[in-house]
Chains A and B, each alone.
Chain A
Amino acid sequence: MNLPDSNFLSAPLWLITGLHILTLSMHFAAMNFMLGGILVAAAGTRTRHRDHPMFRRLMALLPSAMAATVTLGVAPLLFLQLVYPHQLYPAAIVSGWFWLLVIPVVILAYYFLYAGSFGSKTSARSGAGFLWAALPCLVYVSLLYSSVFSLAERPDLILRLYRQSQSGLLGNPEVGYSLLRWLHMVLGAAAVGSFFASLLAKDDPELFHVFRKIYGWAIGIASAAGLAYLISLREAMSGLLRGTGAWVLAAGILASLGSLYLLWHRRFVLSAVILSASLVLMVTTRHQLRLWQLRGQFDPASWRIAPQWAAIALFAAFLAIAAAAIVTMLRLFYRHQPHS
Chain B
Amino acid sequence: MNYPFWDAPLGYGILTAGIAVLHVFISHFAIGGGFFLVVSERAARRSGDSGRLEFLERLSRFFALATLVSGALTGVGIWFVIGLTNPAAVAVLIHNFIWIWAIEWAVFIAEITAAILYFYGWRRMTPAGHMTIGWIYFVFAWLSLFFINGILTFMLTPGAWLATGRLWDGFFNPTFWPSLVIRTCICGMLAGLYALLVAAFCKPAPVKARMARLSSRWGLLGLAATLPALYWYWRAIPAAVTTAALQGLPTPMQALRYSYWFAGCIAALLLVFGLILARRLHAIVAALIMAAGLGWFGSFEWFRESIRKPYVIAGYMYGNGVEVADAAIYQKDGYLPHILYRSEDDLADLFRHACRSCHTMQGYKALKPAFEGTDRAFIAAIIRGAHLLRGNMPPFYGTAAEADYIAAYIDHRLDQRSLATLSGLQGVSLGKKVFEIRCGKCHPMGGRSDKTKTLAGLTGEDYRNILDNAATLGAGMPAFTASETDRNALIEYLKTLKAGEEK
Check B316 for interface membership: any CB of A closer than 8 A: yes
Contact pick for A336, options B19, B80, B84, B124, CB 8 Å = B124
Instruction: Report the separation of the CA atoms of residues A328 and B344 in the bound assembly, to the nearest whole angstrom.
Output: 59
Instruction: Write out, one digit per residue, whether chain A residues 145-181 have a CB within 8 A of any chain B CB (1) or not (0).
Output: 0000000000000110011001110000000000000
* Residue of A with least CB distance to B143: A318
Instruction: Write out, one digit per residue, whether chain A residues 311-340 have a CB within 8 A of any chain B CB (1) or not (0).
Output: 110110011011001101110110111111
Check B43 for interface membership: any CB of A closer than 8 A: no
Q: Are B73 and A110 in contact (CB under 8 A)?
A: yes
Instruction: Report the separation of the CA atoms of residues A74 and B129 in the bound assembly, to the nearest whole angstrom.
Output: 29
* Residue of A with least CB distance to B89: A6
What interface size band does chain B fall in?
Answer: 35 or more
Q: Are A326 and B110 in contact (CB under 8 A)?
A: yes
List residues of A (108-125) whose CB comes within 8 Å of B's CBs. 110-111, 114
Chain A residues in 8 Å Cβ range of B90 = 81, 85, 89
Q: Are B6 and A315 in contact (CB under 8 A)?
A: no
Contact pick for B91, options A6, A103, A340, CB 8 Å = A6
* Residue of A with least CB distance to B3: A89
Given contacts A70-B73, A93-B84, contact A78 B101 (CB under 8 A): yes
Closest CB in chain A relative to B203 CB, distance in Å: 21
Closest CB in chain A relative to B155 CB, distance in Å: 13
Check B136 for interface membership: any CB of A closer than 8 A: yes
Check A13 for interface membership: any CB of B closer than 8 A: no
Chain B residues in 8 Å Cβ range of A337 = 124, 126
Chain A residues in 8 Å Cβ range of B112 = 67, 71
Contact pick for B80, options A63, A100, A312, CB 8 Å = A100
**Interface centre among A71, A159, A167, A319, by most B CB within 10 Å?**
A71
Chain B residues in 8 Å Cβ range of A218 = none
Instruction: Report the separation of the CA atoms of residues A176 and B125 in the bound assembly, to the nearest whole angstrom.
Output: 51
Chain A residues in 8 Å Cβ range of B81 = 100
Closest CB in chain A relative to B10 CB, distance in Å: 10
Chain A residues in 8 Å Cβ range of B124 = 333, 336-338
Check B422 for interface membership: any CB of A closer than 8 A: no
Chain B residues in 8 Å Cβ range of A328 = 136
Check A232 for interface membership: any CB of B closer than 8 A: no
Q: Are A314 and B99 in contact (CB under 8 A)?
A: yes
Instruction: Report the separation of the CA atoms of residues A111 and B321 in the bound assembly, to the nearest whole angstrom.
Output: 36
* Residue of A with least CB distance to B315: A3
Q: Are B106 and A67 in contact (CB under 8 A)?
A: no
Contact pick for A77, options B9, B79, B136, B325, CB 8 Å = B79
Check B265 for interface membership: any CB of A closer than 8 A: no
Given contacts A3-B162, A3-B324, A166-B343, contact A333 B352 (CB under 8 A): no
Q: Are A99 and B87 in contact (CB under 8 A)?
A: no
Check B427 for interface membership: any CB of A closer than 8 A: no
Check A126 for interface membership: any CB of B closer than 8 A: no
Q: Are A102 and B72 in contact (CB under 8 A)?
A: no
Q: Are A70 and B76 in contact (CB under 8 A)?
A: yes
Instruction: Report the separation of the CA atoms of residues A126 and B463 in the bound assembly, to the nearest whole angstrom.
Output: 80
Q: Are A93 and B3 in contact (CB under 8 A)?
A: yes
Q: Are B92 and A103 in contact (CB under 8 A)?
A: no
List residues of A (31-59) whose CB comes within 8 Å of B's CBs. none
Q: Are B94 and A85 in contact (CB under 8 A)?
A: yes
Q: Are A318 and B107 in contact (CB under 8 A)?
A: yes
26 cross-chain CB contacts under 8 A: A2-B325, A7-B95, A67-B68, A67-B72, A70-B72, A71-B108, A77-B79, A85-B91, A89-B83, A93-B5, A96-B6, A97-B8, A99-B84, A103-B74, A103-B76, A162-B4, A168-B6, A312-B99, A315-B102, A321-B106, A326-B109, A329-B110, A336-B124, A336-B126, A337-B124, A339-B123
Instruction: Report the separation of the CA atoms of residues A311 and B166 in the bound assembly, to the nearest whole angstrom.
Output: 11
Instruction: Report the separation of the CA atoms of residues A106 and B161 in the bound assembly, to the nearest whole angstrom.
Output: 37
Instruction: Report the separation of the CA atoms of residues A90 and B339 in the bound assembly, to the nearest whole angstrom.
Output: 13
Chain B residues in 8 Å Cβ range of A250 = none
Chain A residues in 8 Å Cβ range of B315 = 3
Q: Are B94 and A74 in contact (CB under 8 A)?
A: no
Contact pick for A82, options B70, B83, B94, B133, CB 8 Å = B94
Check B121 for interface membership: any CB of A closer than 8 A: yes
Instruction: Report the separation of the CA atoms of residues A167 and B121 in the bound assembly, to the nearest whole angstrom.
Output: 47
Instruction: Write out, one digit per residue, whether chain A residues 1-16 have a CB within 8 A of any chain B CB (1) or not (0).
Output: 1111111111100000
